[in-house]
Amino acid sequence: MKLLVTGGAGFIGSNFVHHVLDTTDHSVVVLDKLTYAGNRASLDGLPADRFELVVGDITDAALVDVLVGDADAVVHYAAESHNDNSLHDPRPFLDTNIIGTYTLIEAARKHGTRFHHISTDEVYGDLELDDPNRFTEQTPYNPSSPYSSTKAGSDLLVRAWVRSFGLQATISNCSNNYGPYQHVEKFIPRQITNVLDGVRPKLYGAGQNVRDWIHANDHSSAVLTILDKGVIGETYLIGADGEQDNKTVVETILELLGQPRDAYDHVTDRAGHDLRYAIDSTKLRTELGWRPAFQDFRAGLEDTIAWYRDHQAWWRPQKAATEARYQEQGQA
Ligand SMILES: NC(=O)c1ccc[n+]([C@@H]2O[C@H](COP(=O)([O-])OP(=O)(O)OC[C@H]3O[C@@H](n4cnc5c(N)ncnc54)[C@H](O)[C@@H]3O)[C@@H](O)[C@H]2O)c1
């Protein structure tokens, strides 16, 4: 198959491209605008006969029409993805997440191209810390931020295009990812690179907020499974039973880097900060037979720390500008 992967120079998209080229015979065309979040270097060393990067915008209907028409399937990762940025400047989130998705599904409908839409568990809002429930495919949408509301909107567009126009689409909503190639603005890489730089990590509020962590490789294998065996029109939740509160994550990073577990500072909490996300991925596991490979969060974190220690040339160019942006936003 020839896959068109949007946002393939970003964190999860680039992990997916590496995974596909390593484990299948598919070829890949990446369409990526290379915003501040996209990084050409994340795609270095891929085989030229099976891989191509097209720099462009998913809202560019003429370009999208050609690329979608030429692909056997589209896997749509491209998005504005950072909650903090969405609180300070929501407009790019509407343009890319809503109009960009609309542009892609119009082209996929025209050409009859198989489409897989990547989304987040954040569309479901949050759970109380002591709630015994987890999100399932039946949980009502209740997004909190401009980021999650635009992702929810894009999911609903895809569902409507399936129902109204017979779009050959599936959707997945995944929990929080960690692993290589994640921008240093995000929680885990920001803490790791701060400690590597001798700077004390920053924790929003008391750090009780719980996220359900999954290694990006497991997200990739789940998406390939859905592309292969997923039922058109269906939504699949992707998660690896990795619930951890933010305080424990920071303390574990410090410990794994040989620092005292309490060597961090608290900063003002994010506005509207979701308390807890938790995914029930029973449907994906029982109906499509998927299993995560990384079951041990601490071991996965150790691998991720080693990657950031060994790939300083990849993240250093972004570090100072990222911290300056946090400073401007009052979250230094
Ligand atoms: N990071 C997570 O934990 C997580 C969890 C679940 C789902 N998701 C979803 O996975 C997808 C990828 O997330 P990520 O963390 O890799 O994001 P990211 O910000 O690291 O990457 C996004 C990529 O999209 C590109 N892009 C942005 N706007 C574009 C446009 N208009 N046209 C073309 N390319 C554009 C960027 O250049 C970048 O390479 C998103 O749809 C996100 O909602 C992320």
297 domain-assigned: no
Distance 260 CA to ligand 1 centre (A): 34
3-state helix, strand, coil in the chain (%, to 5): 45, 15, 40
For residue 58 and ligand 1, the question of a CB distance below 6 A is answered with yes
321 domain-assigned: no
Distance 85 CA to ligand 1 centre (A): 13
Shortest-distance Cα residue to atom 12 of ligand 1: 77
226 domain-assigned: yes
In Å, what is the CA distance from 143 to each residue of 93, 273, 275, 296?
A: 14, 11, 12, 29
Distance 187 CA to ligand 1 centre (A): 15
Of 203, 205, 216, give the one whose Cα is nearest residue 254.
203
For residue 117 and ligand 1, the question of a CB distance below 6 A is answered with no
Distance 9 CA to ligand 1 centre (A): 9
299 domain-assigned: no
For residue 34 and ligand 1, the question of a CB distance below 6 A is answered with yes
277 within 8 A of 237, measured Cβ to Cβ:
no
Q: Can you read off the two tokens belonging to residue 320?
A: 């100072």
Per the structure, the count of domains in the chain is 1
- As a whole number of angstroms, the distance between CA 11 and CA 318 comes to 14
196 domain-assigned: no
Q: Best of 4, 68, 77, 274 to mutate for ligand 1, by most ligand atoms within 8 A of CB?
A: 77
329 domain-assigned: no
For residue 32 and ligand 1, the question of a CB distance below 6 A is answered with yes
In the chain, which ranges are E strands? 2-6, 27-32, 51-55, 73-76, 114-120, 169-174, 177-178, 202-204, 210-212, 214-215, 235-238, 243-245, 265-267
270 domain-assigned: no
Shortest-distance Cα residue to atom 32 of ligand 1: 57
Shortest-distance Cα residue to atom 5 of ligand 1: 176
Q: Can you read off the two tokens belonging to residue 99?
A: 């109009």
Distance 252 CA to ligand 1 centre (A): 26
Q: Best of 4, 5, 6, 11 to mutate for ligand 1, by most ligand atoms within 8 A of CB?
A: 11
Question: Does the global pTM surpass 0.85?
Answer: yes
Of 55, 45, 4, give the one whose Cα is nearest residue 22.
45
What's the pLDDT tens digit per position in 156-177? 999 999 999 999 999 999 999 9
Banded pLDDT at 98 (limits 50, 70, 90): very high
Shortest-distance Cα residue to atom 28 of ligand 1: 79
What's the pLDDT tens digit per position in 249-263? 999 999 999 999 999
Mean pLDDT of the residues in the chain: 96
Average pLDDT over residues 3-29: 98
What's the pLDDT tens digit per position in 308-332? 999 999 999 999 999 898 888 776 6
Domain carrying residue 27: 2-177+214-238
Distance 132 CA to ligand 1 centre (A): 30
Write out the catalytic residue numbers: 121-122, 147
What's the pLDDT tens digit per position in 271-298? 788 899 999 999 999 999 999 999 899 9
Assign residue 155 the CATH number of its domain.
Answer: 3.40.50.720
- Count Cβ atoms below 10 Å from residue 330 Cβ, excluding itself: 9
253 domain-assigned: no
Q: How many CA atoms lie within 13 A of 201 on its CB side?
A: 32
User: For position 250, what pLDDT does the model report?
Assistant: 97
- As a whole number of angstroms, the distance between CA 150 and CA 173 comes to 14
